[in-house]
Amino acid sequence: MSAPRLLVMKGHPATGKSELAYRLARRLRCPLIDKDDIKDFTLTLPDGNALAYAIMWQVAGTQLALGLDVVVDSPLSYPIGYEQAQALAAKHAARLWVIETQLDEDEWRRRLDARPPEVSTHKMRGWAAMQEMLRQYDGCWQFEIAPEHHIVVDTARPVEELLGEVLARIRNEESEAPFTQSHNPSIP
């Protein structure tokens, strides 16, 4: 059996990362582990956000241990998240990909301001709230990711186009390193 893939999303709220994660998981026919799905249930607990991340990585590790590809959806705002992804990939001999979603500021602002309040009690809404969060982050999200792991996409483009770009990059790089090629034949 060949190596599974760990595809980890990275990006700020409202940059299209969850939609792309969903489309990737659907196309690859693999589990999607969304930190926000977990956080919906841990939010009121002490250290609920940290607990959501711990559960997310644990569930992802279980999928990798089964030999499955897995898509993990979280902002990946801190270097520790990337370190955890690297450790998990190494533990399960998985191929790690970090797919970072970026968007020009005007469109990003429009998307944040257009988010309806009923989306979630903990999902970021509004440009002012995002700017406050970025001030609190103090640049921590701007950490180096190894080029062989990193795919950056401009999510102003259609999601089907992005999906094709990401899958082509994975296919091309894995064909150059056959020993890490995934068992999943779903990549056209």
Domain span including residue 49: 5-180
- 116, pLDDT greater than 90: no
So what's the pLDDT on residue 125?
A: 73
Q: Confirm whether 187 is domain-assigned.
A: no
52 vs 39: CA distance, rounded Å: 5
pLDDT in tens, 117-147: 765 666 777 777 777 887 887 877 889 999 9
In a domain, 100, yes or no: yes
| Among the listed residues 133, 83, 89, the one whose alpha carbon sits nearest the alpha carbon of residue 108 | 133
Q: Within a domain: residue 188?
A: no
DSSP code per residue over 25-57: HHHHT--EEEHHHHHHHHTTSTTHHHHHHHHHH
Give the count of domains, the chain.
Answer: 1
pLDDT band at 179 (very low <50, low <70, confident <90, very high): very low
Would you say residue 76 lies in a domain? yes
With 50 as the cut, is the pLDDT of residue 185 above it? no
**pTM of the predicted model as reported, rounded to 2 decimal places:** 0.87
In a domain, 93, yes or no: yes
Give me the CATH number covering residue 25.
3.40.50.300
Distances (CA, A) of 167 to 11, 27, 72, 174: 18, 9, 16, 10
pLDDT in tens, 26-82: 999 999 999 999 998 998 999 999 999 999 999 999 999 999 999 999 999 899 999
Least confident interval from 87-91, 126-130, 163-167, 172-176: 126-130
pLDDT value of position 30: 97
Q: Is residue 44 part of a domain?
A: yes
Q: For the chain, what percent of residues have pLDDT higher than 70?
A: 90
- Integer Cα distance of 98 and 76 in angstroms: 9
Amino acid letter, residue 40 = D
Quick check: is 141 in a domain?
A: yes
Please report whether residue 95 resides in a domain: yes
